[in-house]
A and B are shown apart, each in its own frame.
Chain A
Amino acid sequence: MTQIIEWFIIGYFFSINTVYLLLVIGALVYVRRQMLHSDIVKPASLFKSKIYKTISILVPAYNEADNIIESIESLLRLEYPEYEIIVVNDGSTDDTIDQLTRHFKLKKTEIFYEETIPHKDIRGIYKSEDLPNFTVIDKENGGKSDALNAGINVSDSDLICSIDADSILEQDVLKKLIQTFIRHKHTIAAGGIVRVINGCKIKNREIEEVHVPDGFLGRLQSVEYLRAFLFGRVGWDYLNSLLIISGAFGIFDRKAVLEVGGYETDTVGEDIELIIRLHSHFQETKQSYNIGYLPEPICWTEVPVDYKSLKNQRNRWHRGLADSIWRHKYMLFNPKYGRIGLFVLPFFLIFELIGPIITILSYLFVTLLLIIPGYSDPTFITLFFVVSILYGMIVSLISVLAEEIAYKTYSSTKDILILAAYSFIENLGYRQLHAFWQVSGIIDFIKGNKNWGDMKRKGFEVHPETNPAPGSGSGSGSNS
């Protein structure tokens, strides 16, 4: 009996690490190919031929008084011929709306739109005299999804872009992302690489240098982001099986989102849930569609650096994943939903969702073997160590190498050395702890826990040379 369990455990860890390895290597090859002479076609020509689409950037804001002006100012500087910014003030209890009104000289106005997706009442719509492409919607509190839905109704652009109020975008992000939509005619959603901003040196609102965060947890997350989010996502996109677009930044075809009914307000994983629902609907109606990913860094976001915030964030992410898969369980192994139903969703179910449970149980099992005399099987334990920890280290290390080969984002060699060191550390406790958080997420999901928790934001005070940028405040983070 124990033999079977042992083989199962070895098999499980071996396969999941191998899949990650293949994703990273595949992604690296793909990215290199893309980047070679990618400048042969200049995006400027897009605009001479009017091939582009109009974009509405939706910024849901809840108690963002500290950051919001800075965020909007930087959004106003994006390089794109026709886009608008819609801030949705989701019933903030601080003076977010006052600050906006004062700084941008807002005046109350009316817009003719159709309320296709239901949401909480709108108290007023405001526009700025100076800035024709800036609108503020003031509404009653309803949550991030609800706010986004309001924005989707009011907007009349071709595409909508949902971002977090504290995401920092590169100036040419819209120009870059639109190419994904143009390259594949039927693209209905696209995301890009989200990077960690903690530790970067910011001067005069520009990112001058990119460095790893100073703290222990920050550095662990940097490695994790490289392995799981950077190359993991690109790999999935290469296989046309992208399931998650970061809530920190995503662009969607507005009509497509309206077709499926907008964001779901009753879930904590609204970004994953929307993507799965889009897959579901478009597979059902047999329409040709594409969900793309731009393998370039487009968005910077702050990661939690204290234990509690990180734990809450990961717990919430996992609850969101569980919720989204549960809602769409009819798709699992259902050939009606093509590759997504037959392979991708089951993969996420088994490896991403249930995986942590298997991980924790495996460790318990191993501990038991070590404690109970006579059952100790050195071969198995060594193999287990090899396949879970050593192999994991290899995958993490290769991710760091891939980042260096493909992007060289980090400004100094020291950063890479730190990341390499943390590749080892990541597998000696963090991944295991992370699995534990995910399991408690599943338990919470089963219990029906739906709250968001707080994330303590430190702002960017860490580096004294920077301007005193956004201070700390609580707010909602998002899936990455």
Chain B
Amino acid sequence: MTKINVVVIDDDELTRLLLQRILEREFKYSIISFRNGLEGLKYLEENDADLVVLDLMLPGKNGFDILKALRREGRHKDTKIILVSAKSNSLDIERGFELTADEYVTKPFQQQELVVRVKKLMKAS
């Protein structure tokens, strides 16, 4: 069984830690995380990933731009992407799905909820 690779890009330390714990604990995924959007994007340009968890408000490059960039080039056309954001206004959610994100989670969230959503998403692949 090949290990599932997950890339987490979020500028909040605790969020990164929490996501790492959840994904490792529940799914035994292998996680690599980044604080800075540009850094994360550069990594993804060179490496594959099965799942990307992306914050919207990031230093370096914002989440929407990263999403667009990832979908544009071949490597990540089918990678599952979950958007995470503290902004819960409907315009952002709409835009996220318009840009073909697979899921949108607003902060604050409940751990169980996130687990269920990820399970559903990854099973579909």
User: Is the beta-carbon distance between B62 and A206 smaller than 8 angstroms?
Assistant: no
Query: Which residues of B, 12-45, contact A by the 8 Å Cβ criterion?
Result: 36-39
Q: In the complex, which residues of chain B have a beta carbon less than 8 angstroms from the beta carbon of A205? A: 38, 59-61
Query: Which residues of A, 199-225, contact B by the 8 Å Cβ criterion?
Result: 203-206
- Select B62's contact among A77, A130, A203, A204, beta carbons within 8 Å: A77
Which B residue's beta carbon lies closest to that of A205? B60
Q: How many residues of A contact B (CB 8 A)?
A: 10
Indicate if A171 sits at the interface (CB-CB under 8 A): yes
Which B residue's beta carbon lies closest to that of A76? B62
User: Is the beta-carbon distance between A204 and B57 smaller than 8 angstroms?
Assistant: no
Task: Give residues in B with beta carbon < 8 Å to A.
Answer: 36-39, 57-62, 65, 68
Q: In the complex, which residues of chain A have a beta carbon less than 8 angstroms from the beta carbon of B36? A: 203-204, 206
User: Is the beta-carbon distance between B62 and A171 smaller than 8 angstroms?
Assistant: no
Interface centre among B36, B38, B39, B59 (most CB of A within 10 A): B59
User: Is the beta-carbon distance between B57 and A206 smaller than 8 angstroms?
Assistant: no
Indicate if A284 sits at the interface (CB-CB under 8 A): no
Complex Cα spacing A374 to B101, Å: 87
Q: In the complex, which residues of chain A have a beta carbon less than 8 angstroms from the beta carbon of B57? A: 77, 79, 171
Q: In the complex, which residues of chain B have a beta carbon less than 8 angstroms from the beta carbon of A203? A: 36
Complex Cα spacing A288 to B24, Å: 61
- 4 further interface pairs, Cβ-Cβ under 8 Å (given A77-B62, A171-B57): A130-B68, A204-B38, A206-B59, A206-B60
Q: In the complex, which residues of chain B have a beta carbon less than 8 angstroms from the beta carbon of A73? A: 61, 65
Task: Give residues in A with beta carbon < 8 Å to B.
Answer: 73, 76-77, 79, 130, 171, 203-206
- Select A171's contact among B39, B59, B65, beta carbons within 8 Å: B59
Complex Cα spacing A386 to B43, Å: 59
- From DSSP, what is the main secondary structure of chain B's interface residues? loop
Complex Cα spacing A275 to B124, Å: 61
Q: In the complex, which residues of chain B have a beta carbon less than 8 angstroms from the beta carbon of A77? A: 57-59, 62
- Select B39's contact among A76, A79, A130, A204, beta carbons within 8 Å: A204
Complex Cα spacing A204 to B57, Å: 15
A-B contact pairs, 11 of them (CB 8 A): A76-B62, A79-B57, A203-B36, A204-B36, A204-B38, A204-B39, A204-B60, A205-B38, A205-B60, A205-B61, A206-B59
Shortest beta-carbon distance, B87 to chain A, in Å?
9
Shortest beta-carbon distance, B13 to chain A, in Å?
15
Complex Cα spacing A73 to B77, Å: 23
Which B residue's beta carbon lies closest to that of A130? B68
Complex Cα spacing A143 to B57, Å: 35
Shortest beta-carbon distance, B31 to chain A, in Å?
20
Complex Cα spacing A204 to B61, Å: 8
Shortest beta-carbon distance, B116 to chain A, in Å?
29
Shortest beta-carbon distance, B35 to chain A, in Å?
9
Interface centre among B39, B58, B60 (most CB of A within 10 A): B60
Which B residue's beta carbon lies closest to that of A79? B57
Complex Cα spacing A75 to B57, Å: 13
Which A residue's beta carbon lies closest to that of B60? A204
Q: In the complex, which residues of chain B have a beta carbon less than 8 angstroms from the beta carbon of A171? A: 57, 59
Shortest beta-carbon distance, A81 to chain B, in Å?
8
Q: In the complex, which residues of chain B have a beta carbon less than 8 angstroms from the beta carbon of A204? A: 36-39, 59-60
Complex Cα spacing A55 to B61, Å: 22
Interface centre among A77, A79, A130, A171 (most CB of B within 10 A): A77
Complex Cα spacing A91 to B68, Å: 31
Complex Cα spacing A171 to B57, Å: 10
Complex Cα spacing A206 to B61, Å: 10
Q: In the complex, which residues of chain A have a beta carbon less than 8 angstroms from the beta carbon of B60? A: 204-206
Q: In the complex, which residues of chain B have a beta carbon less than 8 angstroms from the beta carbon of A130? A: 68
Which A residue's beta carbon lies closest to that of B37? A204
Q: In the complex, which residues of chain A have a beta carbon less than 8 angstroms from the beta carbon of B65? A: 73
Complex Cα spacing A444 to B47, Å: 60
Q: In the complex, which residues of chain A have a beta carbon less than 8 angstroms from the beta carbon of B61? A: 73, 205
Q: In the complex, which residues of chain B have a beta carbon less than 8 angstroms from the beta carbon of A79? A: 57
Complex Cα spacing A171 to B65, Å: 16
Shortest beta-carbon distance, A460 to chain B, in Å?
15
Q: In the complex, which residues of chain A have a beta carbon less than 8 angstroms from the beta carbon of B59? A: 77, 171, 204-206
Shortest beta-carbon distance, B94 to chain A, in Å?
12
Complex Cα spacing A76 to B58, Å: 11
